[in-house]
Amino acid sequence: MVMKQESASKQTAGPSAKFSEPVADYLEYLQRERGRSENTLRAYDVDLRNLGQFLKERAADPALKQVSVDMLRDWLAYLHESDVSRTTLARRISAVKNFFAWALKHELIEADPALRLAAPKKERRLPHVLQPSQIDRLLSDETVASEGTSNVNGDEDEQVNDPKSLAIQCRDKVIAELLYASGLRISELVALDIADVDFERRTLRVLGKGNKERVVPFGKPAERVIIDWIRSHRRILASESAGDALLVGVRGSRLNVRQAREVIATALRLLGDTSASGPHALRHTVATHLLDGGADLRAVQEFLGHASLATTQLYTHVSVDRLRQSYRQAHPRA
């Protein structure tokens, strides 16, 4: 397993084998039996390695059975002193609690030292949401910037009509249009194959978190740019390593999450009048726009692929403009 090999290769610079080996087994369990994504596995690996390194340096490198609740509390104190954010702290506590619960179930430990760890309450921030006029500008030809254009050789004037530059620009429009049209997570977007696109029904077959499949719609603007990309531009970038990937990077293989994220981050910076900074802002935006337009909350939950309705309810916050409009229309003394 890749994650297990990676953990083993880093033992000299990180936790000892007494801690890293059961962690590697745990990550393999999450991958094979729970179907966790690579991003989730990577996050768990980072969080558990952080604890393992602390135990190695500060607690005489105990075996897993010797880890106590006091050791874990010392680790939390260390994180607090390091000014770790509340969100990161909550995530690391969750990772550690899940790991030790698994270790207890598999009889690697006799008692769970993480059972009484309390995670801080997460900061409940409303997501950044773009206005419809900002979405129109974001999806215009002038705003959707290319993360790969600067890698194309030649003068800027020549790049305007360069086939590779045009292909990258078309691909970037597909990224932006699909993220807003279908509310996909960035990892779901880059995982799409051409066969996942149903042009007759204008839907996408999406494999979401926990390997749960769902079907989501997209509109005519997205359909136009996808067809243009597949018919005229994809072949310019794609190599054999791309396989059936819908989106392709400048080196010819499947587009990765980092490249796709940078495309949207650049486009949002070019807007200049929003604090939104990444592709998740488009997911927040389409959810809010659907609810503002009268969509049913459970339909939006299915659309986004949320396991819990409570997660979707975050988007039911009312924008200031909508609140003012409703107030003027409904309040007798407005």
Look at residue 4 in the predicted model and tell me its pLDDT.
42
According to the model, what pLDDT value does residue 254 have? 96
Which of the residues 42, 202, 209, 251 is marked catalytic? 209
**306 an active-site residue?**
yes
Q: Please tell me which residue in 49, 173, 254, 283 is annotated as part of the active site.
A: 283
**Residue 220 designated active-site:** no
pLDDT at 97: 94
The domain defined by 2-105 folds into DNA polymerase; domain 1 (1.10.150)
What are the angstrom distances between the C-alpha of 59 and each of 56, 72, 108, 146? 6, 10, 19, 49
Q: Give Cα separations from 281 to 30, 285, 296 (angstroms).
A: 28, 6, 21
Q: What's the pLDDT at 277?
A: 81
* Cβ neighbours of residue 304 closer than 8 Å, sequence gap 6 or more: 183, 283, 287, 312
Query: CA neighbours within 13 Å on the CB side: how many for 300?
Result: 23
Going from N- to C-terminal start, the domains of the chain cover: 2-105, 132-318
* 315 is known as an active-site residue: yes
CA gap 293, 316 in Å, rounded: 11
Q: How far apart are CA 50 and CA 46, in angstroms?
A: 6
Domain covering 132-318 assigned CATH 1.10.443.10 in the classification: yes
pLDDT score, position 67: 93
Which of 91, 185, 254, 284 is labelled catalytic?
A: 185
How far, in Å, CA of 85 to CA of 89, rounded?
Answer: 6
In three-state secondary structure terms, 33 is coil
Residue 7's pLDDT is 39
Count of CA atoms in the C-beta half-sphere (13 A) of 283: 20
* pLDDT at residue number 6: 42
In angstroms, rounded to a whole number, what is the distance separating the alpha carbons of residues 116 and 114? Answer: 6
DSSP per-residue codes, 118-180? -PPPPP-PPPP---HHHHHHHTSTTT---SSGGGS-S-HHHHTT-HHHHHHHHHHHHHHHHHH
Instruction: Determine whether 248 is exposed, middle or buried from the number of CB atoms within 10 Å of its CB (0-12, 13-18, 19+).
Output: buried
- Cβ count within 10 A of residue 58: 12
**Among 280, 284, 298, 322, the one annotated catalytic:** 280
pTM exceeds cut of 0.75: no
pLDDT in tens, the chain (334 residues): 444 444 333 334 567 788 889 999 999 999 888 888 888 899 999 999 999 999 988 888 888 999 999 999 999 988 888 888 888 888 899 999 999 999 999 999 999 999 988 776 665 566 678 888 889 888 886 556 544 443 434 444 555 578 999 999 999 999 999 999 999 999 999 999 999 999 999 999 998 877 788 999 999 999 999 999 999 999 999 999 999 999 999 999 999 999 999 999 998 888 888 877 888 888 888 888 888 888 888 888 888 888 777 777 776 654 455 556 666 777 676 5
Active site annotation includes 283: yes
